[in-house]
Chains A and B, each alone.
Chain A
Amino acid sequence: MKFLQRLSIPLVAGALVALPVFWAYPVGLPAARAAGIVLGWVGCGLLLSSLLLMLREIRLTEWFGGLERMYAWHHVLGTLAYLVLLVHPLAFAIDAGRYSTHQAWAALSPWQQQWPVWLGWAALLGLMVGLSAAFSRRLGYSVWRWLHGLLALAVLFGFAHLILLGLSGQILLTALLAVLLLLWRVVRTDCGLAARPFMVDRVETEANGVVEISLRPLAQTLDAQPGQFAMFAFFDGPDFHGCREYHPYTISAVDPDGRLRVGVKALGDCTRRLQSLRPGVAARVQGPYGNFLQDHGDRPQLWVAGGIGITPFMAVLRAGSMTGPVYLRYFYRDPADAAYVDELQTLEGRLSMFDLRIQVGEPDPAALAEALPGAEVLAGCACYLCGPPGLLSSAMAILASRAVPRDDIHYEHFDFR
């Protein structure tokens, strides 16, 4: 990643925090009171940064180093905002404690105050409940997502709290910015305005619990490079009701007529439903995102694929865009899981610089070590890994032991929640 890309998110977050703090910096106030005010503004700036990073715009992902990186920072900045805002009311209580402990409690307790403070408490409690849900590992995705939306409501209460406190002037621009960011996200992403309409054209069963879906564009198609992914939402059609949620799937082919193909494995509620998808179902697609398998030039490449992780490599092979030797190692547990194997074997026969090895069976470190090329072959290779976390970490350990630099190992894992 370029240096400026690496700095981009911290710089923007720093600016969004520094601006309101300097603009509204309290002068001549007791320390605890000043701290309370400053912490409120720090929390505000961190929340705005977190909101910015939930916008799924392609240009933003290019500036900020990818969608996964944006989501990781969104989580970190959102949590930091919450932690800072927890101290905010306590600082005011400490300040009021200079008069008496009675005053300290009066400053804190909502039932001795009015609307501005009630809204502040509502915002803080909303963040608390929303983040508890966000960190919960046991909630189903639909419930989790709905509760995550509660955080947006908490943020709105927080900015209403600011407005009712009587703050005016340019500082109100922060509230306007928050509302704009939320509206942008809801309209463009959640309501799908930024998505393009497609229709399911063909559905083929590739393996046990794996279908390959071909989608025909109803308007403009995606300008996707092999290795990229997009967010797909499937709606309704004859005999099918999609879950209407956007999920990331790797594009396994971009056909000349603009059709997109994706390979989908049944790993959750939505993907299980997709196994019975039929042609004629409406879909909306946002993207493309990601830079997996880009920027390797003519270098030899090692591809390690586990299970459905074969899909980005299929996109490159089908596009015929290999520029150097490729060593593909494809692992799956059961013969019934064999997706795209026939096609891969045909391609092996046809392409000269393509070295394919398929390994079937339970994960086995020794078999993995044996299947991966030795250090002399790996020298100068760009390594790309796509599969379950266990395979990725084992493979990375073996590659590191064979002197492959960390910068030459790239991996793709969909972990947005």
Chain B
Amino acid sequence: MMRGLFILGTALFWMGVLSVRVADRGGEIVPDTTAPVAETRYSLAQIAPHSTPEDCWMAINGKVYDLSAYLPDHPSRPNIIAPWCGKEASEAYRTKTRGRPHSEEADLLLGTYLIGVFDAGVPAPPGQ
């Protein structure tokens, strides 16, 4: 019986893999880079207040992202990514603090959370 289960399980597995491959219609994730979003500039002081998992912004590689909706889906324990909310996180993103970069798919997915451009030198508006 174990032999039968092995054969059946293996066959179903490869059928599953094949289905996922065939279903991949090559639909790329296209980041929404409409001009108003891409133009809004944020400084570190403006990003810093958004530092909780429920309200999480990050500056990565010169752009700013609102990752609040994505955080639960991030493939690691929450205490790995949450500390970077409200911070400039380019180095952490590039290396995952282990010398390993994120994949191309992660880069594309990140793009869908774009909210603006990071400006290291923009002073905070008055009253903020």
Contacts and interface: CB of A to CB of B under 8 A. Distances in A.
Nearest to B17: A108
Contacts of B78: 28
A176 to B, nearest CB: 20
Contact of B28 (A82, A102, A115): A102
Interface in A380-412: none
B13 A90 contact: yes
Interface string A99-117: 1111111111100111100
B109 A90 contact: no
Contacts of B128: none
Interface string B41-82: 000000000000000000000000000000011011010100
A93 interface: yes
A128 B10 contact: yes
Interface string A123-151: 00000100110010000000000000000
A166 B98 contact: yes
Interface residues of B, number: 32
Q: SS class of chain B's interface: helix, strand, loop or mixed?
A: helix
Contacts of A132: 6
A132 B29 CA distance: 39
A82 B72 contact: no
A114 B21 CA distance: 19
A135 B1 CA distance: 11
B16 A101 contact: no
A171 B25 CA distance: 38
Contacts of A33: 73, 75
Contacts of A196: none
Contacts, number: 81
Interface string A69-112: 00000011001001100110010010001011111111111001
Nearest to A29: B72
A256 interface: no
A297 interface: no
A238 interface: no
A29 B72 CA distance: 6
Interface string B1-37: 0110110011011001100110111111100000000
A28 B2 contact: no
A30 interface: yes
Contacts of A108: 17, 20-21
Nearest to A108: B20
Given A82-B9, A83-B9, A86-B10, A101 B23 contact: yes
A52 B16 CA distance: 31
A82 B6 contact: yes
B73 to A, nearest CB: 7
A30 B24 contact: no
A28 B72 contact: yes
B24 A102 contact: yes
Contacts of A29: 72-73
Contacts of B72: 28-30
Given A99-B29, A112-B104, A79 B24 contact: no
Contacts of B105: 102-103, 106-107, 112
A93 B20 contact: yes
A102 B21 CA distance: 9
Interface in A159-188: 166
Given A79-B5, A90-B16, A131-B6, A105 B23 contact: yes
Contacts of B17: 90, 108
Contacts of A93: 16, 20
Interface of B: 2-3, 5-6, 9-10, 12-13, 16-17, 20-21, 23-29, 72-73, 75-76, 78, 80, 96, 98, 100, 103-105, 109
Given A33-B75, A101-B24, A131-B6, 19 more contacts: A30-B73, A82-B6, A86-B12, A90-B13, A93-B16, A93-B20, A100-B29, A101-B20, A103-B29, A105-B20, A105-B21, A105-B24, A107-B105, A108-B21, A112-B103, A112-B104, A112-B105, A132-B6, A135-B2
Nearest 5 CB-CB pairings of A with B? A105-B24, A106-B105, A86-B13, A101-B23, A83-B9
23 contacts: A28-B72, A30-B73, A79-B2, A79-B5, A79-B6, A83-B6, A86-B9, A93-B20, A97-B20, A99-B109, A100-B29, A101-B23, A101-B25, A102-B25, A102-B27, A102-B28, A102-B29, A104-B20, A104-B24, A106-B103, A112-B105, A135-B2, A166-B96
